[in-house]
Structure 1
Amino acid sequence: MKQPRSPDPLGTAARRAAIRLLDAVLRRGEPLESALALATRALPGGPDRGLAHAIAAETLRRMTDLDVLIDSATKQRLPDDAKARFALRIALVQVLALGTPPHAAISTVLPLVDGGPRKLVHGVFGTLMRGQATLPEVPTLPAGVAERWAHWGADVGEGAARAISAPPPLDLSLSDPGKTAEWAERLGGVSLAPGHVRIKDAGQVTELSGFAEGAWWVQDIAASIPARMLADVGGSVVDVCAAPGGKTLQLAAAGASVTAIDVSETRIKRLRENIARAQAKVTVVQADALDWTPPAPVDVVLVDAPCSATGIFRRHPDVLYRATPAIIAEMAEVQAKILARAAEWVKPGGALVYATCSLEPAEGEAQLERFMADRSDYAIEAPGPGLPDGVTAHDGGWVRTLPGTLEAEGGCDGFFIVKLRRASA
């Protein structure tokens, strides 16, 4: 008679969810955050969901080095998508990076390979533990990413590797820049620029002072630069691809009359929530920028274009694996179409700001060169005095933040930003 299966050890469900998250990212190319709800739907509460997310994210940060360890203890290399490799990755990352005791890490992983390579997983894990395996303090970038970013120079590659060694600090933009020192003291943070506070070990964002009344919103310091280039903006502004709304709120706080557009219903919902919390006056439009046209030409158009998002790899390490050369090329074509359309909305003498959270020249420098070759009525304009300390403009007039920028202060996302001025009639 078949014996009843013993119950899984406590915590196994969170590890099963972590495997689902990794599978969604690595095999199906889904963003980690987008996959979270479905992958964790069977978990009972927030802490378990948080654990599953932490295991998956840390695995992605250190996967190159985890795979080196696994390969060192197997006679034949396991396929990249093998169940045993996935199980070993999350068992090892728990012990070597998250501080989980070895017995807890392996006991909660073995049920995930029941009916499969259980002995293999147990044996490889035991071999590595007995050999006192360790991970390097600075993770190794995935080979394809390292090759693609090599043109930036060794310092940038090394800075990127250091940047993924731990989750970054929390950045907040303030609705009232005049209260920067007050909020820095209240939140136990530091100011990197007027209207900006950085916090380490922030905990639950919604529990922080000032959240409920909309005194600030979450926004990386680099992401604040496009609107900082328009610090003295007045009149009419169209913010293209506006969600989640950080730049929209910056512009509204500076006194502009902002129309924020985005195509995604889900992103629009989040945009409206952030606008309502900050009690900002903004016109929100759900529309595709390639189909929509403003009622009349405007003073400023800000295009924070959809992109590969490789510049936000510190917070979203999944982009290191999802942003393939094909996706980068595809997004560059989308950006070119949006830029060409948005350029027509700007009044003579008005400004167009183009930005991407990407570390790919195709979504930055090359895109700008392409645009300027087609538009003799636009000229690059210096970014002005609003840049954060430690961020400087390129000789060509644009701003490029890279891994290593502001590293002593906790780093920043990778961005390309340029301000363009349309010729007067």
Structure 2
Amino acid sequence: MTDNKRIQNPDAPGVSTRRAALKLLEAVLRRGLALEQALDDAARGLAPNDRGLAHAIAAETLRRLPDLDALIDSATQRPLPDDAKARSALRIALVQALVLGTPGHAAIATVLPLVEGGPRKLVHGVFGTLVRQGATLPEPPTLPDAVAPRWHAAWGDQMIEDAERAIAVPPPIDLTLRDWGNAPELSGISLIAGHLRLGEKAAIPTLEGYAEGDWWVQDLAASLPARLIGKGAGTALDLCAAPGGKTLQLAAAGWDVTAVDISEARLARLRENLARTRLEAKVVAADLLSWQPHAPADAVLLDAPCSATGIFRRHPDVLHRVRPSLITEMAELQARLFVRVADWVKPGGILIYATCSLEPREGESQLKRFLGERADFSIVPVEARELPEGLAARPDGTLRLLPGMLAEVGGLDGFFIARLKRAE
């Protein structure tokens, strides 16, 4: 069998992994699916290591998509259509060779079968030309044209620079400890009590304390909303609760927790983590627009559904699939939920409103509108002692987390958090 025949064989080593990576890119860029949502279908039948590699190739391609496309366009007489399979194959080959350290011959050999029956000569030629020219990708990567102007208008030049640096590498892994006084012997740093940031990548289920339920994976920023409720012995509602990190925090802090989420599938993971950590909470699969608690709670945490643009470091697909129309849709839903759940807070109780979004329409604007309608709620300012060193509340007492914050120790996701109290 000739080398050319081996290249054409879709079952040649490595080809199925790259085919899965191509399916992931198409799911994100053409169908608007989240990368994680598309993974099971795209990687069906792959071994765990190959599944992980397919995800890594697709995620790294999405981190650097504008720069990869600029490189491809520099080596073609006419720009390839955005959705052309040849462009996608070149993206995958180039990101492997220029970022992931795959030898050039392997990078191109494993993607050529993806354009079988198509412009294979073009793909091979463009790749070869760029490699011979010593092509490189800029550092840090460039944000997509659809994102940069929107964020610049909201946050200015420095935020764009910080976001570009943040997208360059996958973020570190943060753990939240069930018992703050019982830290596992793992390599890492603690940025606040009950937190550990791992010093190196590892297979999570193999780490000390995982099987015992001593901790769970949770980005530092995502852990702050529940921290701002504090310890308690009353009732707490965790709304839009899945995948469940905040539920675990509240249960560990002594609250009688009811966790509500619309997705039964996502709640399965929450139930698994409750069992692993030996924590208790009532778990309810329901739509908040129709569900109602039996009685008001002492504390309500609304981690509102949003565009999730704040988690772009970990999920770079949001930079490419989130459109202004989705932000508008999510903002309208948040407005309805914010008003609805406010009545579920006891007089004198606490309401936490949080979104993992970098869009003011899904944060600051929502809070301003709500406070204008509900005079019985007021901001309880976040205090420095409640936050990791280097973070501070804004003058109005709310917390806005942006790219660049804590960058020297690995950064954190983008979030907006407001703590409110209902008048007695």
TM-score range, shorter chain: over 0.9
Is 1:400 the equivalent of 2:403?
Answer: no
Candidates 19, 23, 28, aligned match of 1:25 = 28
Whole-Å separation in 2 of the counterparts to 1:76 and 1:312: 35
Structure 2 counterpart SS, 1:217: strand
Matched residue, 1:77: 79
Q: How does 1:232-271 map to 2 (within 5 A)?
A: 232-271=231-270
**CA deviation profile, 1:199-246 (whole Å, cap 9, x unmatched):** 132311111111111100001111111011111333110010111111
Amino acid at match of 1:142: P
Is 1:152 the equivalent of 2:152?
Answer: no
Matched residue, 1:409: 409
Q: How does 1:275-286 map to 2 (within 5 A)?
A: 275-286=274-285
Structure 2 counterpart SS, 1:412: coil
Gaps of 5+ in 2: none
- Runs of 4+ aligned structure 1 residues displaced above 2 Å come to 4-9
Matched residue, 2:38: 35
Matched residue, 1:334: 333
Matched residue, 2:169: 166
Matched residue, 1:367: 366
Structure 2 counterpart SS, 1:149: helix
Structure 2 counterpart SS, 1:238: strand
Matched residue, 2:139: 137
Amino acid at match of 2:364: E
**CA deviation profile, 1:352-381 (whole Å, cap 9, x unmatched):** 000000000000000101111111111111
Whole-Å separation in 1 of the counterparts to 2:67 and 2:102: 18
Contact 1:297 1:346 in 2 (8 A): yes
Matched residue, 2:223: 224
Whole-Å separation in 2 of the counterparts to 1:419 and 1:177: 23
Matched residue, 1:388: 388
**CA deviation profile, 1:317-372 (whole Å, cap 9, x unmatched):** 00001111100110011111111111001111111000000000000000101111
User: 1:93 Cα deviation (Å)?
Assistant: 0.3
User: 1:42 Cα deviation (Å)?
Assistant: 3.4
Structure 2 counterpart SS, 1:14: helix
Structure 1 counterpart SS, 2:346: strand
Candidates 113, 120, 123, aligned match of 1:121 = 123
Whole-Å separation in 1 of the counterparts to 2:373 and 2:103: 60
Contact 1:233 1:255 in 2 (8 A): yes
Gaps of 5+ in 1: none
**Sequence identity percentage:** 62
Whole-Å separation in 1 of the counterparts to 2:84 and 2:416: 38
User: 1:303 Cα deviation (Å)?
Assistant: 0.2
Contact 2:352 2:417 in 1 (8 A): yes
Q: How does 1:333-352 map to 2 (within 5 A)?
A: 333-352=332-351
Matched residue, 1:62: 64
User: 1:55 Cα deviation (Å)?
Assistant: 0.5
Whole-Å separation in 2 of the counterparts to 1:102 and 1:200: 31
> Normalising to structure 1: TM-score of the pair?
0.96
Contact 1:231 1:386 in 2 (8 A): no
Contact 1:301 1:352 in 2 (8 A): yes
Matched residue, 2:324: 325
Contact 1:14 1:49 in 2 (8 A): yes
**CA deviation profile, 1:180-206 (whole Å, cap 9, x unmatched):** xx43xx111110100000013231111
Amino acid at match of 1:23: E
User: 1:5 Cα deviation (Å)?
Assistant: 5.7
Contact 1:84 1:117 in 2 (8 A): yes
**CA deviation profile, 1:106-133 (whole Å, cap 9, x unmatched):** 1111111111111110111111011000
Structure 1 counterpart SS, 2:354: strand
**CA deviation profile, 1:235-290 (whole Å, cap 9, x unmatched):** 11001011111111111111111111111011111111111111112111111111
Whole-Å separation in 1 of the counterparts to 2:59 and 2:140: 16
Amino acid at match of 1:393: A
Matched residue, 1:296: 295
Structure 2 counterpart SS, 1:178: coil
Contact 1:70 1:85 in 2 (8 A): yes
Whole-Å separation in 1 of the counterparts to 2:396 and 2:276: 38
Contact 1:87 1:109 in 2 (8 A): yes
User: 1:137 Cα deviation (Å)?
Assistant: 2.1
Is 1:422 the equivalent of 2:422?
Answer: yes
Whole-Å separation in 2 of the counterparts to 1:232 and 1:212: 25
User: 1:28 Cα deviation (Å)?
Assistant: 0.1
